Structure 1
């Protein structure tokens, strides 16, 4: 299995697990404050890990042309998206919101295909639709839960949140070759500060220490580490495919609830599992191959000397080419034929 696929599914599993794990806390933390603390745990935790890894604070390594992409991703994904969702939840039912959230992978894929020109064949589209169908089945309200919202403003706000996160996913794809710890940490820290500030303005109280510590830990794992893996998956798969794999998060979260919390298995869960397994299988068995041209490119990311990295090192860089390493390097124009994804080296038009 492709490593980037593992990253995407692991990101979905960690994010999906964060909901049942937060439920185990059994607290009555206000939803906006809870979201803020989860984001804050991810941002602070990842930036601390980065400082430990680098033995102190080091520059982000982002080029001048990449900062606008990251800034846009933070604004849409870290500020506008969460705020729109919380506003929408006050005007619509949780069941309706759950169904509306299935728009995110759809919008992510549409933006990737239409605006950013990622390639997509029928197999990938069908796989994405199957995964989304599984998400719709899984979040479909039962008769006891179903309710009709009288206001269109709530669902529209949730749909706008999905659009914000779809934009965030595609903008983050543009900087996915850079340091994933910095990207995910910066997004989490800002989102956490904004959501906590909004919660305090709404009258929410800061959670007690006994609740704060596990909440921050869940945020670090379920939002932070998950986002790092998501960025690594974007690097290797592109936005549409990563978004499709990540949309399995509700199913994986439900599976964890069944295994860990002992919740009952419903018929809808089995149907959703069948749809999602079929969709993931379609993606895993994809083979996209044709003659393609690599344009000259200069960037920085972790790599070994494979068919796309045949450059020489400077005299002071005594690094074997087979060992993964990171530095600024150039790619010369090359034309060849091999199976590939729309990763950071294959974002050509079709």
Structure 2
């Protein structure tokens, strides 16, 4: 049984049987409505962790309501939360299901006109409780294999003259017949700077729907069978879940012993990032990562250990979670202290691929 079968059933219940004109074609022709899914890493306050799962979900949604004004209603089993927005005539304009079954990753499904759904999603992403999951280029390429081909793509890479003597800029977008050949050429000849941030292509279920996959953990499609859409969603979820679990098991510090008596912290090994070329101004990179500017919103301190090695202590402004870095000319070590720092890791990985090297060697991040 697929992990997302219960979500499929819950969406069917929410939208209603009137949409189900053909077997498994409930959303094949959604009358101008789009499907949108956002993958988020969700933060639960530490004071809630001793509560039952249902109460944890309940207070999580209350915190979400307080921060965003958006009220999701929790199901009786505590696994899904529902939101419906109606216009003045009582017509449902947005319907949403939040899948809360995974302890770390929330999957938020929207059904409605694309623009209002995107606006609602943007509003939700302002919450401190939700952080969009990062889909790196490797993940995007893997997911794109579920499409009949790449129809268009966007790429973004911009080095700073503060960090490199001869910065490289490679950003833009392509669509049309040239896309398949151009995509292969860019991957082969410009791999160190070709940083994919969005892909789109037709689905393979015969609906001729166009799916767009964003690096910020968002998938959107106009026409598609619900079951086909959720198969792709499950693939993304599996990639993210495996990645986070691998990092938690191998790279996150943990406590051993009786928590009520004596216990010791077991320090895990750092994540190693091997760069394809040298960073030329290490101090300026250290400053960039600690000044608190958007989109990183990271503050911190840094110190020089040697002429070619710097130590950085970083704190996320909104959550106060921490990550430490050691940077040398062609290697970056990332030290993660707890599970709640994983969204920070996503931010740092995104920054590295956008501004340092689009392609690098890392067992945890590739």
What TM-score range do you get, normalising by the shorter chain?
under 0.3
Pick the structure with more strand per residue: 2
**Considering only CA atoms, is the larger Rg found in Structure 1 or Structure 2?**
2
Pick the structure with more helix per residue: 1
Higher relative contact order by CA 8 Å / sep ≥ 6: 1 or 2? 1
